[in-house]
Structure 1
Amino acid sequence: MKDLSIKELVTACNGTFCGSESLLEEKIDGVVIDSRIVKSNYVFVAIKGENTDGHIYAESAVKAGAKVVISEQDLSADVPYIKVESSPRALQDIAKYYRMKKNFKVIGITGSVGKTSTKELVASVCATKFKTYKTIGNFNNELGLPLTLLQVEDEQVVVLEMGISDFGEMHLLADIARPDICIITNIGYCHLETLGDRAGVLKAKTEIFDFANADTKVILNKDDDMLSGVTFNAPVFYGIENKDSYVHADNIVDNGISGIMFDAYVGDKMLKKVCVPLPGMHMVYNALAGIAVGCILGIEEKDILAGIMNLKAVGGRNNIIKTDKYVLIDDCYNANPVSMKAAIDVLSKADKGDGRRVAVLGDMFELGSEEAAYHKSIGEHINRKKIDVVVCIGSLSKNIASAIDSSDKIRVYEYKDVDSFLEEKDKVLMKGDIILIKASHGMNFKKIVEELSL
């Protein structure tokens, strides 16, 4: 954060300042909602959550260096604070004010699958020409996104991941972020308990356009049947199957877990030998989105190619870990039917050497009334791939196991939870195996990655 005074905070969140007026012109250096990471000249936003109430830590935050507290409650006289009706809303309003004050471009990325990997790739391309800031970790929701914006200092481009689970949430995020470039990666089977079906997902995701103007650029995946019909602001389409997409790929060479290479066409111009150092056909889509952004921002071809080549994996997302015993495909951060099938495709194409291709799969959450059928579709997908061993963990994953052909071709193991599997891992796994690890975040498959990485 840079050049924001306490007086501006009061104005931005329509609050009431309680403290010495001499503080109003002082600048602040950061905004946090966790009192444990407060530093000198920071603002602490006291938020009441499910497990704790930030107001309890207001005094300790000031002692740790906080210049002012944003609070829904009256605080003691020795704590300078801004009284507001809603602390979360105040945080959002301050972030919106700061975004409008600063002259940086915002690229907003949403979609059912691939938000994080697309964000990483787009940021890598942008960083070849501009000072670039990007969403860190999972700071992509109604609290994380404003905190991300408030971390920006003198960066020229900010790449935001925008995650939602219900109607209206994207409207809120778009109001705060006001993206100059909007990217939607795909419309899949996510959060169906709240969004109903893919039509509902499309409606919720396209709320990203709610605060767009005539200059807002829209980048969409034309191979997605729900997005191909979107016409808002004459989108720049990208794709693999649809060769009439303005940005499209051809001559794709899959190098297994070493990555993927292709030629890209931008209009009638060709970018030869685009090298993505991470595996999977889905990475081609991410790269095409990055190429589209690079062209819109006037980044030279050589720099776009370098940005893609310099891409680094993020833990829990298509991350290759090589140990003395195994090769792990760490994709444990989250899962839905589309991303799980894509991960299985990566495993199926991997060179297994003298080992086996092993899929350690867990439950996928928030799939609504058809959750059993979606899990069965994973087993049916595995039947068509080159997989040697499948480990199914969790109550829903028994549906994956039941759909796998009961032949000697694929060995199937079932466990009720992560700990049960880890107790028997040495009976299931062999040295030299290449192992995919994937499930919804709540399954805590990170524990499996950590255990097998030792």
Structure 2
Amino acid sequence: MKNLTLHKIAEACGGKLFGCDGETDKEVSGVVLDSRLVEENFLFVAAKGERVDGHDFISQVMDNKAAGVVCERVPKAVDGPYILVKDSFQALKDIAEFYRKQLDIKVVGITGSVGKTSTKEFIASVLAEKYQVLKTEGNYNNEIGLPLTVLKIRKHHQAAVLEMGISDFGEMHRLSKIARPDICVLTNIGECHLENLKSKEGILQAKTEIFDFMQEDGAICANGDDDMLRRIEEMNGHRALEGRKPIYFGLNESNPVYADEIENKGLFGSSAKIHMENGEFTAEIPLPGGHMVYNALAAACVGSLLGLSGAQIREGIAKVKPLGGRSNIIRLPERVVIDDCYNANPVSMCAALDLLEAALTRRVAVMGDMFELGDNKERMHAKVGAYAVEKGIEVIVCIGELSINMYDSAGEAMQEAGRENTELYYFPGKKEFLEKMSGILRKGDTVLVKASHGMAFEEIVKALYTSSLFLK
């Protein structure tokens, strides 16, 4: 890893190097927080987590021929190099920041309220048509995951696509300091993390901290159909915006990158004609939902900036694969399941209902609590319940303490709309629903499963795999 020697690492994180009688200028081969991932010549960052203290495994990793250890206290009975620091997590960020500065690589940073992960997948798939690409894996998008992702970049990588997630002011500033993106992509501004950010204006302020350490010659790609993101041009006084206009994408033809002639293919994706300054092409978008067109447009925008042809962008879009728990469509012999239980907020919940609406069979929405919504959580759950009725979903199942608001609102909306045939259910928890599921579901249903990750709705998805047990 370029310039990551024990001596340079100690300097970068403000630590003191001890126990190193031999060579200090040999570059380490990797940096990890998990002792189980340590290989020969790796650097292990020992940190105290909620359940496990990495300091307890220092002796073990040194036995595995680690290059050294970053730690907060002097290790006992360990013969090998260690770097003593005040805060191991801060040291990890400092090391990643130093390493990023050594790299000659194009970095794409992605933020927004909804769609970061799917947008990341589209952009990475497109760029892979021309470059060796590293992308964020799993949920490694915060102040621990992002530096670990940066530290996975190797000599053969030519581009990195980094998802950047936050929940409070200042976090994006710190993430940007590590990532130093060449291209900043903003998907949208929606109602999430309101406990700390309070309003859409606060969300916009926090998300646009991504510009704080953008490269001098960097570019901004933003959803031009989002009224909040259109305000970026009005943010005077920010270094990153001096003389630089965002490249907007969207469905409105006033955007420099836009789509029209959209053909909805239901749960099996869509096609759209994508227009850019250097040409146009028809793209097959394999993932379902109208919002996926925006993801394809973001990828087209980034791909064009990094020199890909229209043909390469089209091929990359067509190769995008669904992620487990993220609008993953599972075809079972008895029914179709939309596994979207990774996380949820009001915007993504409504987008998932939009997707379910496209199904040609009886549609079932199994929805649970959404977390981190602040003081408006009851109103926002109610909004989702009413929206499910508006979309004409035949069976609405609400699960969880907060979802009683979803249930009540759906009931009121059914009365107002005269939807006597809509089936509406409420259960306090998953267990109660699973006990009654066989009497609710039918053969041939399309079932959406969605809630915040803390609801662990993957248990419901697993139960649906044994669908032969739950047929009417």
Taking structure 2 as the reference length, the TM-score comes to 0.93
What's the CA shift string for 1:124-147, capped at 9, x where partnerless?
A: 000000000100000000010010
The aligned runs of 1:368-407 (5 Å cut-off) are 368-404=374-410, 405-406=414-415, 407=419
Runs of 4+ in 1 over 3 A off after TM superposition: none
Partner residue in 2 for 1:132: 133
Match of 1:227 in 2: 229
Deviation string 1:51-86 (CA, Å, 9 cap, x unpaired) is 222112211222233221100111135242101111
| Count of residues in Structure 1 that have an aligned counterpart in Structure 2 | 449
Shift of 1:409: 2.4
Secondary structure, counterpart of 1:371 in structure 2: helix
Query: Which 10-residue stretch deviates more, 366-375 or 34-43?
Result: 34-43
**CA distance in 1 between partners of 2:130 and 2:72 (Å):** 42
Identify the residue that residue 151 of structure 1 maps to in structure 2.
152
Please, what is the CA RMSD of the aligned residues?
1.3
Map of 1:282 onto structure 2: 291
Aligned to 2:204: 202
Inter-partner Cα distance in structure 2 for 1:339 and 1:304: 26
| CA distance in 1: counterparts of 2:427 and 2:31, whole angstroms | 44
User: Deviations for 1:181-219, whole angstroms, at most 9, x for unmatched residues?
Assistant: 000100011110011111111010000001124411000
2:166 partner amino acid: I
Q: Which region of structure 1 is more displaced relative to structure 2, 111-120 or 23-32? A: 23-32
Answer whether contact 1:364 1:440 (CA < 8 A) is retained.
yes
What code does the residue aligned with 1:310 have? K
| TM-score between both structures, scaled by the size of structure 1 | 0.96
Q: Structure 1 stretches of 5 or more lacking a match?
A: none
Q: Distance in 2 between matches of 1:39 and 1:448?
A: 37
**C-alpha distance 425-65 of structure 1, shift in aligned 2 (>3 A):** farther
Q: 1:450 offset after TM fit, Å?
A: 1.8
Q: Secondary structure at the match of 1:96?
A: helix
| Cα distance between partner residues in 1 of 2:215 and 2:45 | 32
Tell me which amino acid in the other structure corresponds to 1:227.
L
Partner of 2:462: 450
Residue of structure 1 equivalent to 2:302: 293
Alignment of 1:32-431 (within 5 A): 32-76=32-76, 77-153=78-154, 154-231=156-233, 232=241, 233-240=244-251, 242-267=252-277, 269-271=279-281, 273-352=282-361, 356-404=362-410, 405-406=414-415, 407-431=419-443
Query: CA 1:45–1:268 in 2, change beyond 3 Å: closer, same or farther?
Result: closer
2:381/2:403 contact within 8 Å kept: yes
Paired with 1:161 and 1:189, the residues of 2 have a C-alpha distance of 19
Query: Separation in 2 of the partners of 1:432 and 1:443?
Result: 26
Distance 1:321 1:284 in 2: 21
How far 1:413 moved relative to its partner?
1.2
CA contact (8 A) 2:147 2:178 kept: yes
Deviation at 1:338, TM superposition (A): 0.7
Cα distance in 1, alignment partners of residues 213 and 292 from structure 2? 29
Deviation at 1:14, TM superposition (A): 2.0
> Do the aligned partners of 1:221 and 1:237 also contact (CA within 8 Å) in 2?
yes
The CA deviation string for residues 323-362 of structure 1, in whole angstroms up to 9 with x for no partner, is: 122211111101111111011011011121xxx2000000
Structure 2 spans left out of the alignment, 5+ residues: 234-240, 467-472
The 2-side partners of 1:23 and 1:422 are apart by: 60
Which is worse superposed, 398-407 or 290-299?
398-407
**CA-to-aligned-CA distance 1:147-204 (integer Å, 9 cap, x gap):** 0011111200000000001100000000000000000100011110011111111010
2:271 partner letter: M
Asked if structure 1 preserves the Cα contact closer than 8 Å seen for 2:341 and 2:449, the reply is: yes
In 1, the alpha carbon distance for the partners of 2:46 and 2:24 equals 19
Once the 2 structures are TM-superposed, how far is the Cα of residue 424 of structure 1 from its aligned partner? 2.0
**Distance of 2:157 and 2:31 partners within structure 1:** 17
- The one-letter code matched in structure 2 to 1:215 is D
Separation in structure 1 between the aligned mates of residue 348 and residue 270 of structure 2, nearest angstrom: 17
8 Å Cα contact 1:349-1:386 kept in structure 2: no
The CA distance in 1 between the partners of 2:451 and 2:398, in whole Å, is 10
Report the AA paired with residue 113 of structure 1: V
Structure 1's 268 and 31: CA in aligned 2 closer, same or farther, altered over 3 A? closer
Q: Is the 8 A contact 1:139 1:145 kept in 2?
A: yes
In 1, the alpha carbon distance for the partners of 2:65 and 2:348 equals 44
Structure 2 distance, partners of 1:134, 1:21, is 37
The offset of 1:269, in angstroms, is 3.0
Q: Percent identity?
A: 48
Q: How many Å separate the matches in 2 of 1:104 and 1:445?
A: 38
